[in-house]
Structure 1
Amino acid sequence: MNLHDWIDELCDVLDVEIDVDESLILDLAREAAHNVERPAAPISTFLLGYAVARADGDPEELDRLAAAATELAIRWDKSADEVEHEDDDPEVEEELASVEA
């Protein structure tokens, strides 16, 4: 048995029909485990799955949410000053301002 077989069998047991992008999920798990702490990997992937389910399993939303979660994990171990000056994206700045208010 290999990972693909496991995924197929698990989908059968859970009664779900979905094409799983293993690399997307594993990338998030890796970044969460390395930059946050090991238990963050399964919790992060669970929460990603939950969020995507709330979006009716939309593949584009999966990509967007996975990228956002992975990006958060990548910058997690940086200091607040590094994160603050790292991104000049106006949308990010606006979101940060609304959170800080």
Structure 2
Amino acid sequence: MPVQRLVGHLCELGFSPYEARCYAGLLGAGALTGYAVAKRTGVPQPKVYETLRRLVARGAAEQFPGPPTRFTAVDPKLVLDRLASAHAASIAGARAAAADVDGTT
């Protein structure tokens, strides 16, 4: 199933399982309330608002004030491009640190 594949890949990229499920649930759904995201994704309602705030903080979702407050997914291309850049920078840093430890600078 495509949603489960997406959730799996997002978890591999550092999303928590709840973050991955909420992001996947927001994709293509328009602006949703936290309640609607919880119903759509199965993420427990007490956890969904905290999870959505984390997605907003990491740039994967946008929040629109209410009432009620609504959330939308940021374009996956933008989210994945940012993740690719962040991972590339981390890999470059790890390579440099490994070279320093190895003494092959």
- TM-score of the aligned structures, taking structure 1 as reference length: 0.31
Larger helix proportion, structure 1 or 2? 1
Between structures 1 and 2, the one with greater strand share: 2
Larger Rg: 2
TM-score, structure 2 normalization: 0.30
